[in-house]
Chain A
Amino acid sequence: MHELLTGSVYFGVLLSLGTFGVGTWLKKKFHSPLCNPLLISVVLTILVLLALDIDYDTYYQGAHYINYFLTPSTVCLAIPLYRQLSLLKKNWRAILAGIASGVLTSLVCVLALSALLGLDHRMYVTLLPKSITSAIGMGVAEELGGLPTITVAVIILTGILGAMIADGLYRLLGITEPIAKGVGLGTSAHAMGTAKALEMGEIEGAMSSLSIAVAGVFTVVGASVFAMFY
């Protein structure tokens, strides 16, 4: 049995998508921000792998086929963006200001907190690109001499957490404009934030996809400057 599970190319995919299905079902049933399908799927997958004594590399051999669709999916984020073209043309100054201020906040926060908590330089540059999409963030961490594996883990956890707190935080701060909600989610929580933003509405989703790309490019430049500060 163990050999069948570790030898199968489909087991990893089945386990990942199956647990995601469970997460989606739980979310529909309970409507709680804690029921994030991705988080549920990841926790269940890890538990199953530990229970069956299958290591990550073996699981990944099958599951990495899922990654194949990541690039085309990111490319398709241009579609909701295109549908909101007129809104983008009218408000591009406000949108750019929001994204730039968010990127700067992220870099300053990581710098201040890393210094305060006494992290070493390697960990500091590992965390610098934590708010942007993993495709860019991994490259930035590698370029600056950080640990890309940790960067990816932190990026994705940031995304899940961002999707979970967005509703509450926006209510607390009185952020009600769809464009502002989208920019906030995309700048702070990249693709996972965008999935949440698309749930809120088409405008939120489009602005969030735009923010992923722009925040990513700003961070590439900003992080290389900030890497010299600590």
Chain B
Amino acid sequence: MRFLKQLLVILGVTFAGEALHAFLPLPVPASIYGLALMFVCLCLKIFPLRAVEETGNFLVDWMPALFIPATVGVMAAWDVLQPVLVQVALIMCLSLAAVMAVSGRVTQWALRRRGKHKKEDNRHA
């Protein structure tokens, strides 16, 4: 019963996300509205974490498996992809490494800069 109740809450929030997607004219998908709604509900204590936690953890753990059918779709898109395969693969690999490196380094730099300021503040005080 516990899992059923948790699933109900999660599906409720998901449905509310779909409703927002239907009524707001922004190019934001239902899943992201749902993510934001779930976060807001937890922050405002509309329901406690334990009302969704176990089922939610299960769904998050299994997430990679949910992409299998869409990825197998490469099979169906092969004819369009094949002529530009080398270029697309090159762009994919290079920009992936660049994005991961830049966002990771910038975040670390900003975190440490802040950390240093704090230490200096402490010294002044």
Which residues of A pack against B, CB within 8 Å? 12, 16-17, 19-20, 37-38, 41-42, 45-46, 49, 56-57, 59-60, 63-64, 66-67, 69-83, 85, 91, 93-95, 97-99, 101-103, 105-106, 109-110, 113-114, 117-119, 123, 127, 130-131, 133-136, 139-140, 143, 147, 149-150, 152-154, 156-162, 165-166, 169-170, 173, 175-177, 179-181, 183-185, 187-189, 191-192, 194-195, 198, 209, 211, 213, 216-217, 220
Contacts and interface: CB of A to CB of B under 8 A. Distances in A.
B34 A135 contact: no
Contact of A119 (B35, B43, B60, B84): B84
Nearest to A97: B110
B112 to A, nearest CB: 8
A153 B77 contact: yes
6 contacts: A70-B67, A113-B91, A161-B93, A183-B107, A191-B64, A220-B28
Nearest to B41: A78
B14 A72 contact: yes
A183 B100 CA distance: 8
Contact of A79 (B57, B80, B99): B57
A71 B11 CA distance: 9
Contact of A149 (B14, B73, B114): B73
Interface string B71-102: 11111110011001001101111111111111
Interface in B55-77: 55-57, 59-77
Secondary structure call for the B interface: helix
B70 A134 contact: yes
Nearest to B113: A94
Contact of A177 (B32, B64, B108): B108
Given A139-B27, A150-B77, A41 B91 contact: no
Nearest to A113: B91
Contacts of A77: 35, 60
Nearest to A147: B80
Contacts of A45: 68, 72
B66 A70 contact: yes
A125 to B, nearest CB: 13
Interface in B17-41: 17-18, 27-32, 34-39
Interface of B: 10-11, 13-14, 17-18, 27-32, 34-39, 42-43, 49, 52-53, 55-57, 59-77, 80-81, 84, 87-88, 90-108, 110-112, 114
Contact of B114 (A82, A85, A91, A140): A91
Nearest to A94: B110
A73 B59 contact: yes
B27 A17 contact: no
Of listed B72, B92, B98, B104, residue having the most chain A CB within 10 A:
B104
Given A69-B66, A79-B42, A180-B105, A166 B100 contact: yes
A173 B27 contact: no
Contacts of A131: 95-96, 99
A176 to B, nearest CB: 8
B107 A97 contact: yes
Given A38-B65, A56-B76, A75 B90 contact: no
A56 B34 contact: no
Nearest to B42: A82
